[in-house]
Structure 1
Amino acid sequence: MPVATPGEAPALGPFGESAPLSLGVELELQLVNTHDYDLAPYSDEMLRLMSRFRLPGSVVPEMTSSMIEVSTGICRSAVQVHDELSAIRDALVKCADRLNIAVVGGGTHPFQQWHEQRIYDKPRFRELSELYGYLSKQFTIFGQHVHVGCPDADSALLMLHRMSRYIPHFIALSASSPYVQGQDTQFDSARLNSVFAFPMSGRAPFTLRWCEFEKFFNKTTRTGVVKSMKDFYWDIRPKPEYGTIEIRVFDTPLTIDRAAALAGLVQSLAAWFLQEQPFMPEEDDYMVYTYNRFQACRFGLDAVYVDPVSGQHMPLREHIGLTLRQVMPHARRVGAAYGVQMLWEDAEHGTNDARWLREKQGRERLLAEVVRQGALRFREAR
């Protein structure tokens, strides 16, 4: 992995301009064959075919060659996110059909074997493979990243730490990775266990001023441990080149509808923060952060949530309901009410994609058939 020579740390650069509450969404997707529905190394062929379409955003390779990442352009609303992801999805399906493969959502492939995966031939991926060894192939996992625009650098850090209280909510609502290597892990989101193995994962340092964050970045890069913000695998990280913060804990959903709804939830929370300034984050918030995150990964919507201020324990789905009731007026204002309402109803019923996958496996008793049905579900238009 390329690192800065000690004493020659790269600069962080200025925090860019973005429209407050603008959105950008990235989805990492699975490519599977259509005879046994295992992962298939077809990213080069998919990239070649996708290049013929005029689409918003981008389509790029990921760490291993059975993965592909798609992204929207800069969007004003969750409706626009849905429209752009739908157009990209339709093109992906057409290309996959030509190659006799399928595209699937979900945070993990249920039965792929990590040692069979191929590192995509790109300098950064080769360098990461040399540094992280087998962890790089085990990083054949699939997440959704949501960027939200911030007014300025200090506002971005304030939003980042406010948003951190809702990491368990994001995990439970997006969880879609109960199976790994053919086994039910008993986690709703096992994907994040692979992320936590990386040394620069976890949470951002607690600072609410960009000048202090720059000092942290400069100290870290001066050691040569990291070269850029890309080397931090934090749950939420600032993206100064875009003028955004990036939430990274979502499993890739099984449908475009859910991906857009989750982006709308982020936008609605951000609107609430900017308009009402509902609370000031504190470093003590992080005393229960790891516990809450584990609960959400392990139990999904059946998790226990510990309020970082009062210390009160309550069912996570109950806290999700309280939160969504607070943000719904803002969701209506930014045009995200449809998706937020869908997530609210799912939370009340304990329904997420992990539950859907388990119910399908309970019925079919064959994970390949679960993947096949997942591929059909990804194709569906609302």
Structure 2
Amino acid sequence: MDLGSRDAFARMGTLGIEEEFYVVDEAGRPTAGIDDLIYGSEPPEPLVDRLDHELFQFTIETQTPLIERPENARAELTRIRRALVDHATDHGYRVAAAGLHPSAKWRELDHATKPRYRAQLDRIQYPQHRNTTAGLHVHVGVDDADKATWIANRLRWHLPPILALSANSPFWNGFDTGLASARAKIFENLPNTGIPTAFEDFDAYRRFERRMVETGSINDRGELWYDVRPHTGHGTVEVRTPDAQADPDRVLAIVEYVHALVLDLAERYDDGESPAELRRELLDENKWRAMRYGHDAEFVTRDAEDTVSLGTVVDRERNRLGVDGIRDLYDDPSGAATQRRIHDEGGHAALRESLLLSP
């Protein structure tokens, strides 16, 4: 049973970016492509050991190599994305990105045959059968396991604004859901998802991880799909909240913010700051507001006495952490609003085209 260890947490501030994408045909419609792109051919060098697939045969995932310095994130992200688009083009496919593909109708699409996913489908049934979601996962290295657990606990308060900024999935199964991030709502119907409760320390998290495997609740530690978790294999804090994005600038703004949050919280931990008490119900309410309203969300304050707009949160965090990307992200129309506008103006064909990654 591979459950990771304290020893994995050895480096502070490194980055890793995982992105989930959709394999589509020339018209941008979802199509099975993993047999050609993963099993039937060798990927180009940048994607060796960094290309995998997800539950459906049209969902694919990339991982950047370990990024030692945050200023190198753009170059690494660009290199991986360019290699993916070229690889797909060579095999007659294109690549799209969003939290959900608006034309993906899960009943008409094939699941992957990998035993891990077949076991999930058998155990989870309907919620997993319809899981056509795609997310952005940000890993930040932390040099101590207990520190990583403390940071993950504290990051829970920041997850709803991150989701609201990234909200990019209003359409599902061909219709407008009325949500800014339908992906978040669909995904949290799976077990072991959403914003987790706090863990006292790393040993408490590792005990939980072990018991979930031993009781048959999950097959491996990777099936704890919480919005944030200490990753006991990579030695990182992993934030899994954001919707996938076609625009790399949006990805990098989110990465910059998550990285700054983790470094700030690491300093607070080192300074002996006490952990914050956060009600799970309040966290869930703010997450709901993020997935429903996106950029227009108003969040309940920590004392539950008032609400605060996403714009106010963004300004405060920008000034506090010195990150400009989230202000640009907020000032631009949200992914959800942009998708709705394009759909209203040009229909599904124009919307599908807008989600394609550039060559």
1:97 Cα offset (Å): 2.2
In structure 1, the gaps of 5 or more residues are: 1-9, 329-339
1:314 aligned residue: 308
Other structure's SS at 1:284 match:
coil
TM-superposed CA distance for 1:96, in Å, is 2.4
Q: Which segments of 5 or more consecutive residues in structure 2 lack a partner in the other structure?
A: none
Residue 20 of structure 1 corresponds to 12
Within a 5 Å distance, the mapping from 1:231-246 to structure 2 comes to 231-246=223-238
Q: Which amino acid aligns with 2:176?
A: D
Aligned partner of 1:212 among 194, 199, 204: 204
Matched, 1:351 2:333: yes
What is the Cα deviation at residue 341 of structure 1?
Answer: 1.6
Q: Residue 58 of structure 1 corresponds to which residue in structure 2? A: 50
**Superposed CA offset, 1:10-54 (max 9, x none):** 47341213321111110000111113x220101221225873411
RMSD of Structure 2 on Structure 1 (CA): 2.1
CA shift digits 1:270-294 (9 cap, x unpaired): 1211234596443434331000000
Deviation track 1:275-330 (CA, whole Å, cap 9, x = no partner) reads: 345964434343310000000000001111112246431112211221121011xx
Q: For residue 278 of structure 2, what is the aligned residue in structure 1? A: 284
| Contact kept? 2:180, 2:292, Cα under 8 Å | yes
The alpha carbon displacement at 1:173 in A equals 1.2
Taking the aligned partners of 1:142 and 1:303, their CA distance within structure 2 comes to 22
Assess if the C-alpha contact under 8 Å between 1:25 and 1:72 holds in 2.
yes
What residue is the counterpart of 1:335 in the other structure? Answer: none
After superposing the two structures, state which structure 1 stretch, 75-84 or 48-57, moved more. Answer: 48-57
Aligned partners of 1:78 and 1:368: how far apart in 2?
37
Among all aligned residue pairs of Structure 1 and Structure 2, give the percentage whose two residues are the same amino acid. 25
- TM-score normalised by structure 2 residue count: 0.92
**Preserved CA contact (<8 Å) 1:78 1:261:** no
3-state DSSP of counterpart to 1:198: coil
2:335 maps to 1:372? no
Q: Distance in 2 between matches of 1:95 and 1:367?
A: 26
1:94-105 equivalences in 2 (<5 Å): 94-105=86-97
- Aligned residue in 2 for 1:3: none
Separation in 2 of the partners of 1:50 and 1:325?
A: 48
C-alpha distance in 2 between matches for 1:309 and 1:180: 35
Tell me which of 148, 166, 171 is aligned to 2:163: 171
The TM-score normalised by the length of structure 1 is 0.87
Distance, in Å, in 2 between the alignment partners of 1:255 and 1:154 is 35
Following TM superposition, by how much is the alpha carbon of 1:221 offset from its aligned partner in structure 2, in angstroms? 3.6
Q: CA deviation at 1:79?
A: 3.2
Aligned to 1:249, what secondary structure does the other structure show?
Answer: coil
Contact 1:254/1:353, CA 8 A, preserved across alignment: no
Q: Is the contact made by 2:99 and 2:183 (CA closer than 8 Å) also made in structure 1?
A: yes
Displacement of 1:253: 0.9
Q: Which residue of 2 aligns with 1:31?
A: 23
More divergent stretch after superposition (110-119 vs 282-291):
282-291
Pair 1:182–1:323, CA change in 2 (3 A): same
207-216 vs 135-144, which moves further? 207-216
* 2:178 paired residue number: 186
